[in-house]
Every structure is written in structure tokens, then in C-alpha cells.
Structure 1
Amino acid sequence: MSSKPIQGRMTADAQDGVVVFHIGMRINNVRAVRSWWPVFLAMPRMLKELSKDPESGMLGYRLLFGAPRVVYVVQYWESQEKLLAYSAAQDKEHRPAWAAFNRRVKEGRGRVGFWHETFVVPAGAHEAVYVNMPAFGLGAATGVVPVGRRGDRAADRLKAA
């Protein structure tokens, strides 16, 4: 991913619906490294696996650091079916990581927190604008096009799909 700004006004080249998946962890006890470190390491393995498999349905992601002790990932997916298929696949990284996390939660007495949110956004119900920015968020996941190709105003882009 390039960090060089693209001059002008761009929008995400996302014509279809998209699934936005937020997943993260909160380190509740920094000193309890054995509780949170394996959780912290599991996500990069899953992201690497998904990034190497275009058929997985993950379009792209952004790793973010939030409030103190919070790490999370925003992921963009083609469909809820592909997201759910990955989460249930016995031969992928997610299932063993999820099982290990559940064991640690029971043993860890609240030393690490976990959360996720899923948003299914139909075509025509999302829009984006990036001004003098590198491709970012949904635009990084789907590519960007000049705003004029999808409408100059947010209201136009929301109707365009």
C-alpha cells in the first residue's frame, strides 16, 4: 500500500455491497502477558492467511491502535457469507485461535477483553471521499476513482450504486 497522497478528490471504487468487520482486543492487565500476547499474535497470522487468498472474500484491512491498551482491525469483506465461512472453516487459522482464546478467557479472569462488530452494507448505502490522501479504508480495499465518476456530492454517490 502506497503512502503517497493521491491529489484531488477520490472515492472508493466499491459499487456493490460490502461487509465491514471490526475486531479488537483490550489489554485489561498489561502485566498478564501470557493472557494477551497469544491473542495479539493470532490476528497477524489470520490477516496474512486471508491476504494470500483472494477467494477468501476479504477485500482489505487496516490495523489500528485506539484508546490506551486497545488494538483493533477494520476489515472489508465481499459478503457476510464469505466472512462467516472463514470464521467456521476447520482448516483455517481462525478456529484454533478462537478455541485457544476461549480457554484463556476462562483462565485469565478478565485480563484481556475481546470484541467484534459486523456491518452488512448494501449497494447504494455507502460512500466515501478522500481528498489528497493515499488510498485508505474502503478505498484501499477496493481501489479509488475520481469523485466525478460516482457523483460530486455524497448524496449522489449514495444513489449511484
Structure 2
Amino acid sequence: MTADHTIANIYAALEQVMDPEIPVLSVLDLGMITAVTIEDDTAHIKMIPTFAACPAINFIQQRIQEAVAGATGMPVRVTIDKEAHWHSKRLSEAAKEKLRNFGIAPPGIHEGELRAEMLMNTPCPHCGSKNTYLRSPFGATLCRAVHYCKDCGMVFEQFKPVG
């Protein structure tokens, strides 16, 4: 198997590693993978957490290791990339659509500075209305806020914008 073919197999395996808190998004959808290399017959994957204090990091690293080892038969080393920082612009457009379909509003688009106002009038993922309000800047996880839609009456979460 060539290195290019093995790298392709690694990426295919990573597509199957879903976020434990948002199971419709893979680590690739989230933009968590910063590098995939093969060094001394070992797959080396660098990743970044969506939030520094994310309690699922060790679990995600283990899932990556299991998926890639299963797909390639090689030893796998998964490390945190200390040179890169996650930001919400790393989410692909497909990931944003998957979030909406799952009932979570994607993060708002921002250029530079993040402000609290960015959580206001978030479009409802259920009906699309912007007639919403922020109920709490703190959701079920650190990366989400809770909103209410005045038009359809649904409570929903938003994946917070991160710079």
C-alpha cells in the first residue's frame, strides 16, 4: 500500500469518527484535524479541540486511534496540535447544514472580534425565523448557547462562534 493510499484510508476512517456531543459531525466536519502523516510506519494525527476544556478530548483521541488502526492496521499516535487553535470558521458549510438539520444553529459569521451581540437574533434551525432571543449563553456544553424562537416556540441550541 502506498503512503498516498494509506493517507486516503486514514481520512476515510476519520470521516467515521463522530463528535460524542454532536453525533452528526465527524472530526473532519468540525475541522479538528490539522495534520495526517506517516512516520516510521506509524500514522500520526494532529488534532485540536473545539474548546480547550472540552471533556471529550481523551475519548475523541481514543476513537481516532481505534478507527485509524482498524482501517490501516498500523500503529496510531494522536496528539494535540499546540500550534493551532480551533475557531468556528473551521466548520465546513456541510457541517453547518448538518448542525441545522440536527436542530442546532450553526455559529454566526464573524470577522475578527467576537461580541456578545453575535448570539442575538440567531436564526432558528427549526423554522428559519430570526425572531429569537438568547435564553442563556451557557448550553449543555461549553460550546453551545440556548435560544428560544418566538415564532415556532422551540428552544434550540447554537454552536457558539469562536475566534
TM > 0.5 fold call: no
Tell me the TM-score normalized by structure 1.
0.32
- Write 1 or 2 for the structure with the bigger share of strand: 1
Tell me the TM-score normalized by structure 2.
0.31
- Write 1 or 2 for the structure with the bigger share of helix: 1
